[in-house]
Amino acid sequence: SKMYSETLFEHIKNPRKVGTIEDADGVEEVGNPVCADTMTFSIKVKNNRIEDIKFQTFGCGAAIAVSSMVSEMAKGKTLEEATKITNKMVAEALEGLPKQKMHCSNLGADALRKAIENYRVKKAGFIPPMEAKKCYCPVCDLEKPMEGEYCTGCGREVSEEEESHAH
Ligand code: FES
């Protein structure tokens, strides 16, 4: 029996838009929780449209085909239209995926949306905060606020020297 559709196979063999856009307006990497494969889209936006899009996927053939198809579907669309692309639409455009490969298609449209989100955040001039360093109370060992002098866990006053830090 045929596992992969012609379209899916064709995109595996000849993926469109592989690579990264150097001066991308939006870029974001996402990881597949099922298999830990990753997918990164970079987009170039002009007049609210996706003028160019590239992807880098470290994953299986199906994931590459999904990325390729998402790129084709998104190119030239407005950001609003592109945001409406769903994982299901991508799987359908590939004429379906084998059941055990369905999880591979659960990333494409989400990853695209993340890249768009990144573009919007950048455009708004918002700089995402650095991953907050965690701080632990030396007494009760609970996470305490970085700034506060008191541990919200045990209520004890904690001096800066006493705090233990971890990433
Ligand atoms: Fe990880 Fe397909 S096995 S995306």
> Which comes out higher in pLDDT, residue 28 or 166?
28
Any residues with Cβ below 6 Å from ligand 1, and which?
Answer: 32, 35, 37, 59-60, 62-63, 104
Q: Among 111, 18, 12, which Cα is nearest to 62's? A: 12
Q: What is the pLDDT of residues 81-117, one digit of tens each?
A: 999 999 999 999 999 998 888 888 888 999 999 999 9
d(CA 40, ligand 1 centre) in Å? 14
Q: What is the pLDDT of residues 60-74, one digit of tens each?
A: 999 999 999 999 999
Task: Look at residue 76 and tell me whether its pLDDT is greater than 50.
Answer: yes
Atom 2, ligand 1: residue with shortest CA distance: 104
H or E element in which residue 26 lies: strand 26-31
Contact by Cβ (8 Å): 36, 93: no
In the chain, what are the helix, strand and coil shares in percent, each to the nearest 5? 35, 20, 45
| Euclidean distance between CA atoms 93 and 85, whole angstroms | 11
Contact by Cβ (8 Å): 12, 61: yes
Cα–Cα–Cα angle for 11, 13, 14, rounded to 5 degrees: 65
Task: Look at residue 167 and tell me whether its pLDDT is greater than 50.
Answer: no
Tell me the pTM: 0.73
Token reading at 113: 């949306």
Token reading at 64: 């590459």
- Is residue 39 helix, strand or coil? strand
| Residue whose CB lies within 8 A of the most ligand 1 atoms, among 4, 34, 66, 99, for a mutation test | 34
Q: Among 149, 138, 79, which Cα is nearest to 112's? A: 79
Q: In 17-157, which ranges are continuous DSSP H helix?
A: 61-74, 79-83, 87-93, 108-123
Atom 4, ligand 1: residue with shortest CA distance: 104
CA distances to 25, 74, 79 from 48, in Å: 11, 12, 6
Q: What is the pLDDT of residues 6-23, one digit of tens each?
A: 999 999 999 999 999 999
| Euclidean distance between CA atoms 132 and 137, whole angstroms | 16
> Which comes out higher in pLDDT, residue 148 or 56?
56
